[in-house]
Structure 1
Amino acid sequence: MNRLTRFAKHNSLTLAFGTGFLLTLVGQAVSGHADFNNQLVTDGLHPLGFLQYLATSDFAVDVTENWQSEYLQFFLYVFGTVWLLQRGSPESKELDKAGVESDREQKVGDHAGSDSPRWASDKGWRQTLYSRSLGIVMAVIFTWSWLTQSIAGVAAYNEEHLRQLQAPISWLQYLGSADFWNRTLQNWQSELLAVASMAILSVYLRQRGSPESKPVGAAHTSTGVEG
């Protein structure tokens, strides 16, 4: 097995989903461009070129409103599963392991191994930061994408209102608008439903060979066991 083949095999999950992301993003841009121009023509305006559309607030808000909901899901899931449990689910920790766990269990400080990340063996702020780095990064991306959504959203909202000869609103006014919260909450509710469904359905249903499922023959009450 050559180096390239080995790299592709060892990173196939990220590569497959990353490629899928890029393809669907391009598809969204193409279909969004067509829909946007249809609306412009309906309003008696000239259509935009594809590259011009990619720089519009409409495209930006459509992309970022989905990103922020996805990273909210990951952020809540990463932090929530520290303390919250679901009996029988492989998505949950074992029932007696709620909390941040001991240094020995987490292999930090004096319990770090020779192959542990360097900051895991540190006893100061580096270990504290690194031990929460996944959730922190998810929170930062969520906050950034939600802020970007709000900025692009108010621009798109005002552009539409100006075409209808209505007065624009400020960013703070937009944050309290029905348009902003409708865009936001319709994504949040679907993400939270998906997480809750995965947690409870994985108690009783199986997918052979998947680490997101328990072994096919595992008892329904087995918790924190992956296939």
Structure 2
Amino acid sequence: MKRFLTLNALGLAFGALFLATLGAQAVAGWHSFNDQQVAAQVGTIGLGDYVVSTDYAVAVAENWQSEFLQFLLYLLATVWLLQQGSPESKQLDKAGLESDEDQMVGEHARPDSPAWARASGWRRHVYGTSLALVMGTIFVCSWLVQSVAGWAAYDEQRLQDLRDPVDWAAYVTSADFWERTLQNWQSEFLAVGAMAVFSIYLRQRGSSQSKPTGAPHAATGIEG
């Protein structure tokens, strides 16, 4: 068990943090929702009802879709785009998809390489893009959940205000939807860009996301 925890500590730690904050978000959102209900002089709901409500669904989904969009774009951008001095960038002569030898696929695969890396044709192609495909799928699914849940919550509020509801197409082209969406996107893009640039000049000793403390500022694609 100790060896398992040691070898999986990063994933387990962030998994625990995810579950803890997801639960805390549910409790905090429930209290906030009920405060609004009291202010509007309508009935409050229980925690279980809030967790399956559109308000909670849209709050969770709008953050998920922005996070996975960030990872998707970063995965694809770092194939071709370089940043001199950043450990987040590939080395300056490695732009592009790289050779089969560099990627250890096909005849250049090692004995312990994944089976689909040793395969040919569509299987190698799918495996070579599998991370982006999964990130993209989760982004699209989260975006759809956000749009549907947000639409339901938006129409519910309009009905409470004695206004006519709108259809899904009208909601996803509305200012309300894109204001909620873009406020998440811009923060993700800022964080990723800041990490790529700050890591040129700043260090965190022992982190795989930082260059070694003594590495030159111009050293690119080196992690310590």
TM-score, length-scaled by structure 2: 0.99
Query: Which residue does the alignment assign to 1:146?
Result: 143
Query: Which residue does the alignment assign to 1:167?
Result: 164
CA distance in 2, matches of 1:176, 1:132: 31
Shift of the alpha carbon at 1:165?
1.1
Secondary structure in structure 2 of the residue aligned to 1:220: coil
Shift of the alpha carbon at 1:60?
0.1
Structure 2: gaps (5+ residues): none
* 2:67 is equivalent to residue 70 of structure 1: yes
Give runs of aligned pairs for residues 120-139 of structure 1, distance below 5 A.
120-139=117-136
Shift of the alpha carbon at 1:35?
0.5
Shift of the alpha carbon at 1:162?
1.0
Query: Which residue does the alignment assign to 2:44?
Result: 47
Root mean square deviation of aligned Cα: 0.5
Structure 1: gaps (5+ residues): none
Secondary structure in structure 1 of the residue aligned to 2:63: helix
Shift of the alpha carbon at 1:216?
0.3
Query: Which residue does the alignment assign to 1:19?
Result: 16
* Aligned residue pairs, count: 224
CA distance in 2, matches of 1:177, 1:133: 33
Shift of the alpha carbon at 1:145?
0.2
Secondary structure in structure 2 of the residue aligned to 1:90: coil
Shift of the alpha carbon at 1:104?
0.4
Give runs of aligned pairs for residues 175-186 of structure 1, distance below 5 A.
175-186=172-183
CA distance in 1, matches of 2:175, 2:4: 47
Shift of the alpha carbon at 1:28?
0.4
CA distance in 1, matches of 2:164, 2:88: 49
Query: Any idea what the Cα deviations from partners look like across 1:100-144, whole Å, max 9, x if unmatched?
Result: 000000000001111000000011100000000001110010010
Query: Which residue does the alignment assign to 2:99?
Result: 102
Query: Any idea what the Cα deviations from partners look like across 1:4-38, whole Å, max 9, x if unmatched?
Result: 11111100000001100100001100000001011
Shift of the alpha carbon at 1:194?
0.4
Give runs of aligned pairs for residues 82-121 of structure 1, distance below 5 A.
82-121=79-118
* Superposition misfits of 4+ residues, deviation over 3 angstroms: none
Of residues 55, 74, 81, the one that matches 1:58 is 55
CA distance in 2, matches of 1:103, 1:114: 15
Of residues 2, 8, 12, the one that matches 1:5 is 2
Secondary structure in structure 1 of the residue aligned to 2:92: coil
CA distance in 1, matches of 2:93, 2:24: 46
CA distance in 2, matches of 1:109, 1:189: 40
CA distance in 2, matches of 1:168, 1:55: 21
Secondary structure in structure 2 of the residue aligned to 1:81: helix
CA distance in 1, matches of 2:207, 2:85: 16
Query: Any idea what the Cα deviations from partners look like across 1:33-80, whole Å, max 9, x if unmatched?
Result: 001011111111110011011111000000000000000000001111
CA distance in 1, matches of 2:52, 2:74: 33
Query: Any idea what the Cα deviations from partners look like across 1:175-211, whole Å, max 9, x if unmatched?
Result: 1111100010000000000000000000000000001
